């Protein structure tokens, strides 16, 4: 990165002084071994790659399941990320990333919250139909926003999620790109499954409304009782 | 327990075949040392105490803060619970407990989720005014429900919370007692700050809609990346 396809993006973002987060399918050689990761990068205002994340919570299944109208073979094509949940200083902001399904897991948010993230952002491709549990289809947007709002609130961080929305190969993907304040309040939300830009002014100092009080980690966390969470 | 004050409760619940969860201030002697815990117990349909929990996330402050209109000295009067987050079999249901502020911490839910809880319940006393952060007063019910719904959804458990609601010594306490399905949907909610009974039929098998798929812990959790959460 940047490759031929993304160079124009880097170029115009740099000209405009806009940082961004970009997801892509990564091939990585570690020694002589080829690895495939579901990856995203942070690019700062100057167009420099400032951080990389590889998706930890790869969902789906490994083998073809003929009863499904469409496959969810993410576990077949991607390995579990091997970078943990890093937080990077990007243009003076401590930024962490999630990719799609990661946002549903409180561990994603907590590890980056402990590392002092001020903004946690990422992209998602979320089908509105779940073949194994179609009785939850109407809850797709609720579960997305619930996860984003809880993650932001429980860690006192700003959160932003960008949808790859709309119809793709017969599968409708959720919109609801959003920006969430450290209070858990949604401050910007897309309203279509087409191309949109949503924006918010994010006062990073607002994290302290949570992190100095109800979620003062130093005063109130009790890791001696959390061992089971990290147990292999 | 039961003591003179609670014996009538045990008696009538046993007669009716109703189990319950009861919170109280506990004095416990460990060796010759006197300890004070914020405690709750589970009582089964036969009136037998089937489980005990001592609040882990004790909020508030240790010293008198004269600028506050009312004090929140829970950290002065109670020690951190020393039982972790146990899950008990009560009348054939795997039940865990939280107490008040515990419900805001995803670790509370996750430890009991990993232990196979089917129902997580508890009580709360939540003032609608927070002296250090009054700009969040209007979010009190939102933060309560967000925490309950996220905890239930992210662990695929039934959740129930009972408010000590209404005015107490000049402090208004939140209502919004609720029962939440493993989908995160609120299926019962109180509507006043007075005495109320809310009920729901809880199909425990519904946990599998989450735990066999999106939150299949065995397939999808990656504890090798969660170490920081349990680090002292």
Residues 6+ apart with CB under 8 A from A127: A70, A140, A171, A172, A173, A174
Taking residues A72-80, report their average pLDDT. Answer: 96
Q: What is the pLDDT of residue B70?
A: 86
Chain-centroid distance, C-alpha A184: 16
User: Which of A163, A61, A22 has its CA nearest to residue A103?
Assistant: A163
Average pLDDT estimate for A134-140 = 97
Q: Could you tell me which chain A residue has the CA closest to the CA of B225?
A: A84
Cβ of A229 within 8 Å of Cβ of B130? The answer is: no
Write the DSSP assignment of A47-62 as a string of letters.
Answer: S-EEEEEE-S---S-S
- Judge whether A91 and A19 are in contact, CB under 8 Å: yes
Q: What is the pLDDT of residue A118?
A: 98
Q: What is the pLDDT of residue A108?
A: 98
Contacts of A115 in chain B (CB under 8 A): 228
Which residues lie closer than 8 Å to A160 by C-beta, 6 or more apart? A119, A120, A121, A122, A178, A179, A180
Cross-chain Cβ contact B229/A230 below 8 Å: yes
Average pLDDT across chain A, whole number:
97
Distance from CA of B196 to the nearest CA of A (A): 27
Establish whether the linkage from the previous residue to B29 is cis, with ω within 30° of 0.
Answer: no
CA distance A46 to chain B (A): 31
- Whether B104 sits inside 8 A of A154 (CB atoms) is yes
Buried b / exposed e along B195-205 (16+ C-beta atoms within 10 A): eeeeeeebeee
**CA-based R_g, chain B, Å:** 18
The parts of chain B modelled with pLDDT lower than 50 are none
CB-based contact A106 B110, cutoff 8 Å: yes
User: What is the secondary structure of A115-167 as a DSSP string?
Assistant: TT-SEEEEEE--BS--TT-GGGGGGHHHHHHHHHHHHHHHHT-EEEEEE--EE
Rounded Cα distance, A95 and A120, in Å: 6
B14 to chain A, closest Cα gap in Å: 33
State how far the alpha carbon of B71 is from the alpha carbons of B61, B64, B80, B130, in Å.
8, 7, 19, 10
* A54/B contact by beta carbon, under 8 A: no
Angle between helices B106-114 and B140-155 (to 10 degrees): 20
Q: Is A229 on the interface with B (CB under 8 A)?
A: yes
Residue A69: predicted pLDDT: 86
Tell me what pLDDT residue A84 has: 98
Whether this prediction's pTM lies above 0.95 is answered by yes
DSSP string, B110-146: HHHHHTT-SEEEEEE--BS--TT-GGGGGGHHHHHHH
**Structure-token match 């839910």, residue found:** B109
Q: Is 90 exceeded by the pLDDT of residue A70?
A: no
Instruction: State how far residue B185 is from chain A, nearest Cα, in angstroms.
Output: 9
b or e along A59-77 (b: 16 or more beta carbons within 10 Å of the residue's beta carbon)?
bbbeeeeeeeeeebebbee
């Amino acid at each position: 990165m940047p490759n031929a396809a993304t160079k124009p993006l880097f170029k115009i973002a740099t000209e405009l002084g806009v940082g961004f987060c970009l997801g892509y399918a990564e091939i990585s050689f570690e020694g002589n071994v080829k690895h495939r990761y579901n990856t995203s990068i942070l690019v700062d205002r100057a167009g420099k790659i400032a951080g990389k994340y590889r998706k930890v919570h790869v969902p789906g299944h490994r083998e073809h399941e003929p009863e499904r109208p469409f496959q969810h073979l993410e576990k077949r094509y991607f390995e579990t990320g091997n970078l943990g949940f890093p937080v990077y200083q990007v243009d003076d902001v401590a930024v962490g990333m999630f990719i799609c399904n990661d946002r549903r897991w409180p561990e994603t948010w907590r590890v980056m919250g402990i590392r002092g993230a001020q903004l946690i952002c990422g992209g998602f491709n979320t089908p509105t139909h779940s073949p194994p549990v179609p009785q939850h289809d109407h809850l797709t947007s609720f579960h997305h926003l619930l996860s984003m709002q809880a993650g932001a609130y429980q860690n006192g961080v700003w959160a932003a999620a960008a949808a790859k929305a709309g119809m793709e190969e017969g599968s409708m993907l959720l919109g609801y790109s959003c920006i969430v304040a450290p209070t858990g309040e949604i401050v910007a939300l897309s309203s279509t499954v087409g191309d949109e830009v949503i924006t918010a002014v994010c006062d990073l100092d607002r994290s302290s409304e949570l992190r100095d009080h109800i979620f003062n980690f130093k005063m109130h966390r009790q890791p001696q009782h959390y061992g089971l969470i990290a147990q292999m």
